[in-house]
Amino acid sequence: MRIGIVNDLQIAVETLRRAIALEPGLEVAWVASNGQEAVEQCARDRPDVVLMDLIMPVMDGVEATRRIMAETPCAIVVVTVDVARHTARVFDAMGYGALDAADTPVVGSADLRGAAAPLLRKIRNIGWLIGRYGSRPTLTPVARPSEQPDSRRLLVIGASAGGPATLAQLLRDIPLDFPAGIVLVQHVDASFAAGMADWLNDQVPLPVRLVREGEKPAAGQVLLAGTDDHLHMLADGTLRYTEKPKESLYRPSIDVFFHSVAEHWRGMAVGVLLTGMGQDGARGLKALRERGCLTIAQDQATSAVYGMPKAAAAMQAAVEIRPLDQIAPRLIKAFA
């Protein structure tokens, strides 16, 4: 895999070069010292992955991400010093299509391999995602429809690349008296999940927080999957975290959660699959449709990355395909 590095600090560039050299099959394609150079480099020589710093002269990493994803889209990972201090900018970049974020490995670390491990893991996962390492086995849990539905109502939403801004726009149009519990699964590391919940809280009317082990969804709140384990619904409607299936590329997996809802939720449910790279969530959405639920996929024109919704459309998992601004009104009508 060919990696583009975007960073204005030479010492950070050298640390990233050394980290990339630790992983067989990775090579540095080019280095850009600011966002404008990165846009130009991607246009001339598109790499497999771009490691994008946030704070740079000429053009920052958020604007560079927007430009690259609009003009020559490729996989982007935000790599900057102390990601937790720049939560809003990270989610802005993810809103434009960045796939993930990681701290820059500690410069001068005696254990560079250990310091670089989180970043290298993310690059490997993206390699699987974009097909550079072949294909991985597909997980297809079998959903068993409930026989005795009740009056409880549930909205489940999955998102990946481009998800934070898309979720914020969708949830802004959901009123405080929305009569269904809402559970979100966004591909984001546990280290960023709390920051994302706080960020969404500043954007939308309904309160947003992380899922607590053993609780049940309830109207009037939005729950966000908050660990690197998978969110799973049990037969009694409670939410749990589980590390299985360990082989799943996506953590947390939208498919795993959607399948568990299709199997165990006794009541009305609606599934929504938003922007994202890959196919996670498409099979789970189909399981919800086969259970008799309304399922909605975001359309191509309004998706930052038309991967997951495209997969759902291809396998006829979505009852409806809608632009983003039409999804919230449809949900309000569905649950009225």
Q: Domain of 164: which CATH number? A: 3.40.50.180
Let me know the angle formed at the C-alpha of 222 by 216 and 223, rounded to the nearest 5 degrees.
55
Domain limits for position 208: 153-335
Do 181 and 249 have their domain in common?
yes
Are residue 182 and residue 264 in the same domain, yes or no? yes
pLDDT of 49 reads 95
Q: Are 112 and 178 members of one domain?
A: no
Shared-domain flag, residues 124 and 232: no
Count up the domains in the chain and report the number.
2
- What tokens appear for 244 in the block? 């299985």
User: Is the domain of 324 the same as that of 183?
Assistant: yes
DSSP type of residue 229: S
157 and 279 part of one domain = yes
- Catalytic (active site) residue 173: no
Annotated catalytic residue: which of 92, 280, 299, 303? 280
69 and 187 both lie in a single domain: no
**Pair (223, 292) in one structural domain:** yes
Q: Measuring CA to CA, which residue among 157, 189, 199 is closest to residue 285?
A: 157
For residues 195 and 316, membership in a common domain is answered with yes
Asked about 280 being catalytic, the answer comes back as yes
In this structure, the answer to whether residues 170 and 112 fall within a common structural domain is: no
Residue 118 contacts by C-beta under 8 Å, 6 or more apart in sequence? Answer: 102, 103
Task: Give the pLDDT confidence score for residue 134 in this predicted structure.
Answer: 54
Inside any domain, residue 139? no
Say whether both 70 and 168 belong to one domain.
no
Nearest to 75 by CA among 24, 126, 9, 2: 126
Catalytic residue chosen out of the listed positions 33, 160, 260, 303: 160
Residue 328: inside a domain: yes
Which candidate in 187, 230, 232, 259 is catalytic? 187
Q: What is the pLDDT of residue 323?
A: 97
Measured CA distances, 181 to 69, 75, 96, 232, 303 (Å): 33, 33, 27, 15, 24
| pLDDT in single tens digits along all 336 residues of the chain | 999 999 999 999 999 999 999 999 999 999 999 999 999 999 999 999 999 999 888 899 999 999 999 999 999 999 988 777 888 888 889 888 898 888 888 766 568 888 888 899 889 888 877 776 555 444 444 444 444 334 489 999 999 988 998 999 999 999 999 999 999 999 888 878 888 999 899 889 999 999 999 999 999 999 999 988 999 999 999 999 998 887 777 789 999 999 999 999 989 999 999 998 889 999 999 999 999 999 999 999 999 889 999 999 999 999 999 999 999 999 999 998
Is 330 a member of any domain? Answer: yes
pLDDT of residue 157: 98
pLDDT of residue 144: 43
Active site residue 232: no
* Cα dihedral 92/93/94/99 (nearest 10): -170
Same domain membership, residue 179 and residue 76: no
Q: Do the domain assignments include residue 239?
A: yes
